[in-house]
Structure 1
Amino acid sequence: VAGRKHLDESVLGTGIPFLGHGQHARFLKELHQISQRVAGVRRFGAASLDLAYVAAGRMDGFWERDLKPWDMAAGLLMIQEAGGKVTDMDGGEDMLTKGSICTANLELHPLMLDKLKAAG
């Protein structure tokens, strides 16, 4: 995983809810909380690719809701093996059941999670 320690120098990835799925208002609140504090936010369109990029250190972190287990399973294992932190959006270890994920290195993860929780 990447070694950055401050949100303001980090590039994060996320997924944007599409028409008829997801919680658009909640996502916009989360994006607002994060985008003001980071160097950039990217959307590539495939959570599995985003998670692989976090594991490879190409992206500093990632968050998304309303995912299926197959979107996350391989990626969360890669990130854990690369030394990163992976939780659900509540900070727990129930990503595959809850369908939400927040991941980064050990320094950035709690900072991201705090901002995402502040979004309500």
Structure 2
Amino acid sequence: MSLKKLKTNGYFLIASSATLLLFAVNFSASGIVKGDLIECSTSKEFNQALLLLDSSRKAVLELKFEIALEMENRALNLLGDSYQDPRVMDDTSMNIVFADSAERRGEYKNAANLKLRVLESRLESLKTKCQKHKSE
């Protein structure tokens, strides 16, 4: 198993193409937690985004909102539109607009919290989508 270390503003993330997240803080406002590693066509992106979500949560707890935003932006870029399911209405894009606007105004706390909720929602959607495909 090949591991590579990614350094982002003092945070070291261990990423593996097969399995991620052997350690993390179990803090979660949503149903997405470190034990939610999945296996489906988008599992690599999901698992990497899940690791970034955990790092973002840690940064928010430490009041490091700019670092949290960096993690969230990376995770959202990884997911792209893979989370979308035509059977589910998605309104997270509007929150991204609000978060980007807050970030431009220097309101990093608001922006980080908005994007954190968007990321949690999109990961939950992707998890549900993957589970539906497995059961079909």
Report the structure, 1 or 2, having the larger strand content: 1
Which fold has the larger relative contact order, with Cα–Cα distance below 8 Å and residues 6 or more apart in sequence?
A: 1
Give 1 or 2: higher helix fraction. Answer: 2
TM-score scaled to structure 1, two decimals?
0.29
Structure with bigger gyration radius? 2
